[in-house]
Amino acid sequence: MVKKEDGGIAGEKALDLFLKIGLDERTAENTIANNKVTANLTAVIHEAAVTDGCDRAVGNLLYTVATKFPSNSLVHRPTLLKYIVSSKVKSPAQLEAAFSFLAATASDSFKIDDFEAACGVGVETSTEDIEVAVDEIFEEKKSIILEQRYRTNVGELFSYVRKKHPWADPKIVKASIQIVDAKLHSILGERTAADDEKPVKKKKDKTVKAEDKTIHVVTPPQKPSEEEINPFSIFPSPLENFKVHTEIYFSDRPILRAFNSKEILEKHLKVTGGKVFTRFPPEPNGYLHIGHAKAMFVDFGLAKERGGCCYLRYDDTNPEAEKKEYIDHIEEIVGWMGWEPFKITYTSDYFQELYELAVALIRRGHAYVDHQTPDEIKEYREKKINSPWRGRPVEESLKLFDDMKRGMIEEGKATLRMKQDMQSDNFNMYDLIAYRIKAILCTLEFETRRASYYWLLDALSLYQPYVWEYARLNITNTVMSKRKLNRLVTEKWVDGWDDPRLMTLAGLRRRGVTATSINAFVRGIGITRSDCSIIRLDRLEYHVREELNKTAPRTMVVLNPLKVVITNMEASVIDIDAKKWPDAPEDDASSFYKIPYSSVVYIEHSDFRMKDSKDYYGLAPGKSVLLRYAFPIKCTEVILGDDNTTILEVHAEYDPAKKSKPKGVLHWVSESSPGVNPLMVEVRLFDKLFNSENPALLENWLGDLNPQSKLVISDAYAVSSLKDAAIGDRFQFERLGYFAVDKDSLPEKLVFNRIVTLRDSFGKIDPATCRFRVRIRVRETWNRNRENRFRAGSKHGGSGPPQATGNQMQATVELTIVDIYSQLDNQQAHANRSHQLRSEPSEISKNRLIQQLTEIGLSMSKKIERMKAKKQKARESHVVCHLKFQARIQEAEDSMQAQHLIIEALVEEKDSLLQTIQGLQEANDAPAPLDDEWEEEPEERPEEEEIPIGDGEIDDK
């Protein structure tokens, strides 16, 4: 007895429909249990116009179409169904050939003659044709057959016949069994006992492996991929926007395939001139963060690359959370990021048009006015129950909607809901409230809204834009949610929306991060759909350093000054030339700045200690160091405080002739004139805001705030040339990091924010961690590139697994190596010479470091080459194994086919024998003894295939 599933009347109707096309009860039940397969098969049956039933063979083919038809060519499915119903396509082999042809064709038009030729339509094969094919294969394999006799692989012989006549009727192919048997008997004679003996397997001789010799070949760098050069190459052109966007499955009607008709597309292209139009639609309820930088890069960048236009569209539909401050900030920050909107618009500009579309939606029977409360709507959605107002007449909903517009209905007492599908597997199809349409280029958490979005456009017969969902940009040690950011600001955990510790764009700009480095970072991580990764903060800092290293002039600041009195120098001031850039040409005066050098200088407290050691390069009693760009000094006396521990000042002598060559080099500042202290400045040192890499996952995320995320040094000393620095100017404080002038600066006292350190300071790493990070980075890039290549292949109608390119892996490894070098260098500096700057004269130390890094680089390059060689060898081995495996599968399939044909022949003989026996029994007036002993074998059920869910929408909160 067939069981009724939970689908109710609709499920019972579908079950009856499936039984009518010849599906057995078990297959029909399993199909009903899968809503997507049910919807798809129901649509196929209606398209084929066989709702009253059809032949069982045709029904099995229809089931295969419902589960395996290529999604990129759905517009051609009705054509194929006509061929199936008319029995022009009548075998699984023809159907598979049709799938392959249509998958390659996609949505493009094709010639019927080409289609019929590819599917074998009209090809008839006779028994004589089969006999000729058998003779050909026996002639070709005669020597093997004579050697193997009755151990010959019969399946291989049948495979030849099947390939020779792929469209032959299976009943005719059965005849080849008897033909092959007769042919074998005529050549080999009667079967002997030796033919039944198992063959003795020959042991394979073990080959002696040649001695492995590693040959290192230096390969030239490969050209970057198209995606690396242009990350927007993955997006199609407007001319290609005729393909199916998504499939929308319903519980009570056929599948909706969302795509633009030829007329709608041509009308759109005429209006837009074929240009790409995108929009950046922030909601003005807070400040933009670095995640919006990615959205801007995609929206504005795509339009710019294609010569199109990008709107800045304010989503002003929530006035309670919106402020003019946010609107002004958004417009300003978009310009700072280097983007220029084609036009600035507001959702409210289109309220009248949206109202007219809502009226059209009601008139078409796709919307209704509902009086349920929010709690009732939630409860009914959870239970998948229709609203009691869902069936109200169209005219009644039109009148009520007009009353809503004129304010005659109390706010909150009525809503306009779309009549979608409350039984859908997608909760975003549960009769959503019709109040707005979201963005086109959007993040993945809105992917499930794609069905609702396209449903609405289809219901109104509007142009359907191309939707692309990409992964949100998540960065370690911070939060990106506007709600959490708003709480940090309003509860005074940070100093406003532009606090330099935040990942808001205003905060990054105030910290000193440039827009170009942010865009370079976004381009570097790519436009990927992988939503399970979080980007390390040091990847952003890498791009920041890359730019500042080329653009920020060098200068010197002492954070914790220690006074040094030069006892052998007169009370005078010498102007020292200091380089703004490491490679400044000697004849370029603009590349130098003046530093006063007097008898009183200041160094870092941490650059002096009372006891010297072998691995220490700072100043100590009796020891010499070089003051950067100036002279060597030697400590001669230390003045201690009353506690005999606190160091008050140091006395030293300088070497005006520079005869001594100390290893240690220190940064310093000096009195600009005798008795006048150096320029005093405030320096703010920023660190990660949260201790955990992903604080958003913590229940008490505020408890994870880093108390040391901000350190203010109010009495640092700087060289006098900094007194004219303006807000926003960036510098490299030698040995300390990159800094920018903050807006809190006053004429009498400048304030500097540390942008990034000179090296990564987020923690020491060991070799195992280095290898782990290389693997993780390579895997992330592999997954991203694999996904994008697969999309590119799908866009051009291709299929199959994408292959990695060597230059992409190489580039990823090189970037990781750069990061690791930075951390290793920082770790070594911290452990061995934390108070020391390498001097220009100290060529031995510098050369030793360069040599060590070069050796590490060469070692890793060799390992990469070996990995490439192993990978190539493994790939070749895999291909060989794959081919062998495919051959074995083919042989097995052929053998199974042969056995199947033999079984069918035996079944037919059985039926004939039964009829003969029954005839004899009837002649003798006796009962048939075998009636209850024979059972028909159950027919093989078509394989069920999961129909993929459609894609969907955005949040910028």
Instruction: Render pLDDT for 159-204 as a digit per residue (tens, 0 to 9).
Output: 777 777 787 776 676 666 777 777 777 777 777 777 676 666 555 5
Per-residue pLDDT of 434-460, as tens digits, reads 853 443 444 444 455 678 888 888 888
Do 114 and 131 sit in the same domain of this protein? Answer: no
Q: Confirm if 537 and 477 have CB atoms less than 8 A apart.
A: yes
Residue 249 lies in a domain: yes
Q: pLDDT tens for residues 709-729?
A: 999 999 999 999 999 999 999
Check residues 630 and 908 and name the one with the higher pLDDT.
Answer: 630
Q: Are residues 12 and 107 in the same domain?
A: yes
pLDDT of residue 778: 53
User: Could you tell me the CATH number of the domain that includes residue 246?
Assistant: 3.90.800.10
Q: What is the mean pLDDT of residues 472-501?
A: 92
On whether both 143 and 91 belong to a single domain, the answer is no
One domain, residues 682 and 567? yes
DSSP states of 444-512 as a string?
TTBGGGHHHHHHHHHHTT------EEE----BTTS---HHHHHHHHHTTSSSSTT-TTS-BHHHHHHHT
Please give the residue that has the higher pLDDT: either 614 or 713. Answer: 713
- Report pLDDT for 467: 79
Can you state the angle between helices 394-405 and 351-363, rounded to 10 degrees?
160
Q: Work out the pLDDT band at 902, boundaries 50, 70, 90.
A: low
Residue 150, C-beta contacts closer than 8 angstroms, at least 6 positions apart: 184, 188, 191, 195, 196
For position 700, what pLDDT does the model report?
Answer: 93
CATH number at residue 709: 2.40.240.10
In this structure, the dihedral spanned by the alpha carbons of residues 822, 825, 827 and 832, taken in order and rounded to 10 degrees, is -160
Q: Does residue 456 fall inside a structural domain?
A: no
Final residue of a domain: which of 140, 174, 191? 191
Q: What is the CA radius of gyration of the chain?
A: 39
The reported pLDDT for the residue numbered 666 is 95
Residues near 627 by beta carbon (within 8 Å), at least 6 away in sequence: 597, 601, 603, 633, 654, 665, 666, 668
The count of other CB atoms within 10 Å of the CB of residue 509 is 20
For residue 490, what pLDDT is reported?
A: 92
Clarify whether residues 584 and 664 are in a common domain. Answer: yes
pLDDT at 928 over 80: no
Structure confidence at residue 907 as a pLDDT band (50, 70, 90): low
> What pLDDT was estimated at residue 777?
52
Distance CA 434, CA 452 (A): 10
| pLDDT range class, residue 675, cuts 50, 70, 90 | confident
Q: Is residue 784 part of a domain?
A: no
Q: Which residues are identified as catalytic?
A: 283, 472, 482
Residue 6, phi then psi, degrees to nearest 5: -75, 0
Q: What is the CATH number of the domain that holds 55?
A: 1.10.8.1290
Domain limits at 40?
7-119
Q: Is residue 516 part of a domain?
A: no
Task: Report the CATH number that the domain containing residue 146 is assigned in CATH.
Answer: 1.10.10
Banded pLDDT at 249 (limits 50, 70, 90): confident
Structural domain ending residue among the three candidates 714, 730, 757: 757
Does residue 798 have a pLDDT over 80?
no
| Residue 598 included in any domain | yes
Q: How many domains, the chain?
A: 4
Res 900: pLDDT: 60
Give the tens place of pLDDT for each residue, 322-372.
888 999 999 999 999 999 999 999 888 888 888 899 999 999 999 999 999
Kindly state the tokens that stand for 306: 């294609």
Residues 814 and 221: beta-carbon distance below 8 Å: no
Report yes or no on 594 lying in a domain. yes
pTM confidence score: 0.61
Q: Is the pLDDT of residue 463 over 50?
A: yes
Q: Which residues contact 638 (CB under 8 A, 6 or more apart)?
A: 610, 621, 647, 650, 651
Rounded distance between C-alpha atoms, residue 677 and residue 601, angstroms: 10
Mean of the pLDDT values across residues 4-11?
49
| Amino acid identity, position 820 | I
Helix (H) / strand (E) containing 884: helix 843-923
Specify the pLDDT at position 648: 93
Quick one: average pLDDT of 647-669? 92
Of residues 931 and 422, more confidence is placed in 422
* Per-residue pLDDT, 878: 67
Identify whether residues 137 and 251 lie together within a single domain.
no
Q: What is the mean pLDDT of residues 86-90?
A: 89
The mean pLDDT of 96-109, rounded to a whole number, is: 82
In this prediction, residue 685 carries a pLDDT of 96
Comparing CA positions, the residue from 929, 936, 933, 932 lying closest to residue 907 is 936
How do residues 39-64 score in pLDDT, each as one tens digit? 888 889 988 999 899 988 899 999 99
Q: Which of 604, 607, 598 is nearest to 630 (CA)?
A: 598
> Is 772 a domain residue?
no
Q: Compute the average pLDDT of residues 267-295.
A: 91
Is residue 372, in this structure, part of any structural domain at all? Answer: yes
175 and 81 within one domain: no
- Main-chain phi, psi angles of 603, to 5 degrees: -120, 170
| Least confident interval from 13-17, 472-476, 743-747, 933-937 | 933-937
Cα–Cα–Cα angle for 128, 134, 136, nearest 5°?
Answer: 105
134 and 61 both lie in a single domain: no
Instruction: Say what percent of the chain tops pLDDT 90.
Output: 36
What pLDDT score does 869 carry?
74
Domain boundary among 398, 427, 443: 443
> Strand pairing of 632-640 and 441-443?
unpaired
What pLDDT shows up at residue 837? 40
> Same domain, yes or no, for 17 and 162?
no
Q: Are residues 93 and 156 in the same domain?
A: no
Q: What is the pLDDT of residue 890?
A: 63
Given pLDDT bands bounded at 50, 70 and 90, which one contains residue 91? confident
Mean of all residue pLDDT scores within the chain: 78
Average pLDDT, integer, range 866-876 = 73
